[in-house]
Amino acid sequence: MADEQSRWIRRYRAAPEAAVQLVCLPHAGGSASYYRPMAMALFPAVEVLAVQYPGRQDRVNEPYIGDFAELTERTLAAVRPELDRPVALFGHSMGALLAFEVAKRLEADGIEPLALFASGGRPPGRPVRHAHTATDEELISEIAALAGTDKRLLDSEDMRVLFLPALRGDYRMMGTYRFDGPRVACPVVSLTGDNDDLVSVDDAAAWAGHTTGRFDLHVFSGGHFYLADQWAGVGEVLTKSLGAHVPTGTG
């Protein structure tokens, strides 16, 4: 079990004394390391548990998960044993939908997250573009336009071989997502870039319909990967949203 947990969960800045744990779920084609800046920005008040999906980085030799429901259940199974404090969830793009589904299952088990932070993602029930049938060059052009991937990776044939299958696999898996209706009870905080070609501000605001709790919307300057330039500002939103659970002046 310990080996299984170590494959799924990354602690880039362990904070055993932190008041809150934040489970961070990557975007399509993304990896846990995307959240390293988040871990540094929130330390020591919040401990970031970044999820590493199979089929990427140090898990590149493991088979991809091709079904969204299976990814949800396996993510939950990996995360649940790590939770020993109040928890919040943060997901970007595809990760926002996954965070929503994990939050619902935690609530069904009697664990109510402090908040669900849905970043750069369309809410359940809204159409999501599935580009798994695109050619490699089309995929590269698309992700280059989104400005979320290091150009050195896009220009390297060896690196393309490593990251394009994960991206295509995630896009294909997104086609298996089915929204079954229930809302979460925890507060939902939607975050988005004002120049996001994939998610409009209206899309981001529509997350309000998926919680019976409080809803907040924060719009940052930037595109789909606005986070790259906004880690500090996002950290402030998180600490303020978590309120009394995070000590004043930290994070």
**Do the Cβ atoms of 125 and 101 come closer than 8 Å?**
no
For residue 250, pLDDT over 50 is answered with no
Q: What angle do CA 166, 200, 68 make, to 5 degrees?
A: 35
Domain annotation covers residue 251: no
Please report the pLDDT score of residue 76 as a whole number. Answer: 97
Q: Round to whole Å and give the CA distance between 218 and 112.
A: 22
Domain annotation covers residue 12: yes
User: Is the link from the previous residue into 124 a cis peptide, with omega within 30 of 0?
Assistant: no
Domain annotation covers residue 17: yes
How many domains are contained in the chain? 1
Q: What is the pLDDT of residues 6-47, one digit of tens each?
A: 799 999 999 999 999 999 999 998 899 999 999 999 999 999
Domain annotation covers residue 174: yes
Q: What is the pLDDT of residues 194-234, one digit of tens each?
A: 999 889 999 999 999 999 999 999 999 999 999 989 999 99
pTM over 0.75: yes
Q: What is the pLDDT of residues 96-154, one digit of tens each?
A: 999 999 999 999 999 999 999 999 999 998 876 656 566 777 777 776 666 556 666 66
Domain annotation covers residue 250: no
Domain extent at residue 8 = 2-245
Three state DSSP letters for the chain? CHHHHHHHEECCCCCCCCCEEEEEECCCCCCHHHHHHHHHHHCCCEEEEEECCCCCHHHCCCCCCCCHHHHHHHHHHHHHHHCCCCEEEEEECHHHHHHHHHHHHHHHCCCCCCCEEEECCCCCCCCCCCCCCCCHHHHHHHHHHHCCCCHHHHHCHHHHHHHHHHHHHHHHHHCCCCCCCCCECCCEEEEEECCCCCCCHHHHHHHHHHECCCEEEEEECCCCCHHHHCHHHHHHHHHHHHHHHCCCCCC
The share of the chain scoring above pLDDT 90, in percent, equals 67
CATH number at residue 86: 3.40.50.1820
Catalytic residues: 93, 224
Q: Report the chain's mean pLDDT, rounded to a whole number.
A: 88
Domain annotation covers residue 178: yes
Backbone φ, ψ for residue 26 (5° rounding): -70, 165
